[in-house]
Amino acid sequence: MRKKRAVVPGSFDPVTYGHLDIIERAQAIFDEVVVAVIENRAKNQLFDLSERAEMLRDEVGRWPTVSVDTFSGLLVEYMKKERAQIIVRGLRVMSDFEYELQLALINHELAPEVETFFLAASGRYSFLSSRVVKEIASYGGPVAEFVPPKVEARLKKKYLLERG
Ligand code: PNS
């Protein structure tokens, strides 16, 4: 039987416990999971591509079938290159739905062999996003509940440097 290879794409700026929850559940379903960090050109990232990938690698080591990679350009092109047919995305609140459905439909239109698989975010992470984590950290607020200790330390360092 062909192995089921799934890709969990995202900005991961930075990775949160919400992302890790989705990755953990994906690796329990699929044979292989590639966490693909996008080199967003349009978006303003707090962490550069290598930092974002490094933070993920620090966390996913506990799951032997999960690897971390980076990509730029269209996701479906990356999927073809990687010979992967499943995109895994987490859905948190209703406001995610419209954007995620559009993304899934466009990707399927561009590459009919590619399917998007949605996982409902666990209740305790349904409010969590990298954006709110960065906002809290930027004011010196507590983020230990939302991100792993190494990510928390990097956030502190970034914002301390920014404040000068
Ligand atoms: O973590 P994010 O920022 O919500 O992830 C969004 C991501 C990376 C999955 C999405 O922006 C994406 O796939 N970008 C690559 C460009 C692409 O293929 N877009 C879809 C067709 S318009």
Task: Let me know if 130 is a catalytic residue.
Answer: yes
pTM of the shown model: 0.95
Q: Is residue 145 part of a domain?
A: no
- Return d(Cα 58, Cα 54) in angstroms, integer: 6
CB-ligand 1 contact for 37 (6 Å cutoff): no
Q: Is residue 109 part of a domain?
A: yes
Per-residue model confidence as pLDDT tens digits over 95-145: 889 999 999 999 999 999 999 999 999 999 999 999 999 999 999 999 999
Q: Is residue 135 part of a domain?
A: no
CB-ligand 1 contact for 9 (6 Å cutoff): yes
Q: How far is CA 5 from CA 2, 29, 83, 95, 114, in A?
A: 9, 10, 8, 28, 11
Residue tagged active-site, from 2, 3, 41, 43: 43
Per-residue model confidence as pLDDT tens digits over 139-163: 999 999 999 999 999 999 999 877 6
Q: What is the CATH number of the domain that holds 33?
A: 3.40.50.620
Give residue 93's pLDDT.
Answer: 84
Residues with Cβ within 8 Å of residue 128, at least 6 apart in sequence:
16, 17, 18, 92, 121, 146
In this structure, how many other beta carbons lie within 10 angstroms of the beta carbon of residue 147?
27
Total tally of structural domains belonging to the chain: 1
In this structure, how many other beta carbons lie within 10 angstroms of the beta carbon of residue 102?
10
In this structure, how many other beta carbons lie within 10 angstroms of the beta carbon of residue 143?
19
Omega before residue 14 within 30° of 0, cis? yes
Q: Is residue 13 part of a domain?
A: yes
Alpha carbon nearest to ligand 1 atom 2, residue = 10
Lowest-confidence region among 69-73, 90-94, 158-162: 158-162
Q: Is residue 11 part of a domain?
A: yes
Q: Is residue 32 part of a domain?
A: yes
Index of the ligand 1 atom closest to the CA of residue 36: 8
Q: Which of 145, 46, 21 is nearest to 35 (CA)?
A: 21
What domain range is 93 assigned to?
Answer: 5-124
Alpha carbon nearest to ligand 1 atom 5, residue = 10
Q: Is residue 161 part of a domain?
A: no
Index of the ligand 1 atom closest to the CA of residue 130: 1
CB-ligand 1 contact for 28 (6 Å cutoff): no
Interval 58-74 mean pLDDT: 98
In percent, the amount of the chain with pLDDT more than 90 equals 90
Q: Is residue 136 part of a domain?
A: no
